[in-house]
Chains A and B, each alone.
Chain A
Amino acid sequence: GQQVMQIPQYQHVQEGEDFTTYCNSSTTLSNIQWYKQRPGGHPVFLIQLVKSGEVKKQKRLTFQFGEAKKNSSLHITATQTTDVGTYFCAGMENNAGNMLTFGGGTRLMVKP
């Protein structure tokens, strides 16, 4: 079945440093979604990418979808303590209804 891998599993950064998490799917995706889960909280939807090579920005967050629609990345510029949490990518295959396969997540810790 489809597998979605995320690296790194953990990342410690100093406040103000940049952060990137990478997501790779074993199959071609129809779309990819990104979620953020604060410690002790529930996942919250951030964004969806649909088109090959798509790049979307949300303030300091930049999301990319690979040309082959099998990989994606999330880059945070100048991290802040409010960025702490676990970032999950979730991939959806073609003709999969609305079924998502989640990656294992990247836990971001920010030192003030």
Chain B
Amino acid sequence: NAGVTQTPKFRILKIGQSMTLQCAQDMNHNYMYWYRQDPGMGLKLIYYSVGAGITDKGEVPNGYNVSRSTTEDFPLRLELAAPSQTSVYFCASSYPGWRREGGSPLHFGNGTRLTVT
């Protein structure tokens, strides 16, 4: 299993450009998430999905959009890139049925390092 795969690894965007960050998982996980991590900081949830066709906003959704047409894929779209979106973006997945109690651990991709200038 490849786990959670993110592409690209690095990207530099000019202000106002758009791009899609790709995320795919091959573990048949229902839940998928997008986080951003600013330098020296923790992880902030952007969007999440509990299954194909269902998405919801996290803590910092402004400036982003997502879609979940399949269980495997959860792309993140930036429409009008701004310098404030310079960050490392992590996609993660989890399988809620993993435990009888508590939560399920998140499996993270390797991240996409995005710079907007």
Contact = CB atoms under 8 A, between A and B. Distances in A.
B87 to A, nearest CB: 14
B55 interface: no
A97 B31 CA distance: 10
Nearest to B96: A98
Contacts of B40: 107
Contacts of A92: 102-103
6 contacts: A1-B59, A30-B102, A50-B101, A50-B102, A88-B42, A92-B103
B105 A48 contact: yes
Chain B, interface size category, equals 20 to 34
B34 interface: no
B92 to A, nearest CB: 8
B103 A30 contact: yes
Interface stretch (A13-21, A38-46, A75-83): A38-46
Interface of B: 31, 35, 40-45, 48, 50, 58-59, 90, 94, 96, 99, 101-111
A15 B41 CA distance: 25
Interface in A96-112: 97-105, 107
Interface string A45-61: 10010100000000000
A104 B38 CA distance: 10
Chain A, interface size category, equals 20 to 34
A31 interface: yes
A33 interface: yes
Contact of A98 (B31, B35, B43, B44): B31
B106 A100 contact: yes
A42 B90 CA distance: 8
Contacts of A43: 43, 90, 106, 108
A99 B43 contact: no
A69 B79 CA distance: 40
A91 B44 CA distance: 13
A33 B41 contact: no
Contacts of A48: 99, 102-103, 105
Nearest to A35: B106
A43 B41 CA distance: 13
